[in-house]
Structure 1
Amino acid sequence: MAQIKITQVKSIIDSPAKQKLTIKALGLGKISKSVLVENTPQIVGMIRKVHHLVDIKEL
């Protein structure tokens, strides 16, 4: 399966609690932190919820 590189580009300070939890579940939490994850429907749904806080690159 293809992988996605997710990089947090904005702070979660003023974000709602659900978005903060989604960022933590993706393995992020600090600006400029990146993670590689598999491209699954669950991950895509999580990215949709926080798309304004992250940058996505498909590998």
Structure 2
Amino acid sequence: MTETTKQYRLTLVRSVAGRLKNHQACVRGLGLRRMNHSVIVPGTPENCGMINKVSYLLCVEEL
């Protein structure tokens, strides 16, 4: 990983209850466990795809 790799702070601001199973899996795959839980993830193409899919559930900040 290079020093110029973007990182994102993700916070789960909406519940995953009643959402599509693949959206729940994306949230779990990003490392988020519960409401208002925050994680820092690298800006890889895989992570960016999951962030885009469930962006309506997240607060995303670029670091």
Q: TM-score, normalised by structure 1?
A: 0.95
Q: Is residue 2:33 matched to residue 1:33? A: no
User: Which stretches of structure 1, 4 residues or more, deviate above 2 A after TM superposition?
Assistant: none
Structure 1 unpaired stretches of 5+: none
Tell me how far apart the structure 2 counterparts of residues 52 and 29 of structure 1 sit (CA, whole Å): 16
RMSD of the alignment, in Å?
0.7
Match for residue 59 of structure 2?
55
Larger radius of gyration: 2
Match for residue 50 of structure 2?
46
Q: Deviations over 1:19-42 (max 9, x none)?
A: 111110000021100000111111
Q: TM-score, normalised by structure 2?
A: 0.89
Q: Size of the alignment, in residue pairs? A: 59
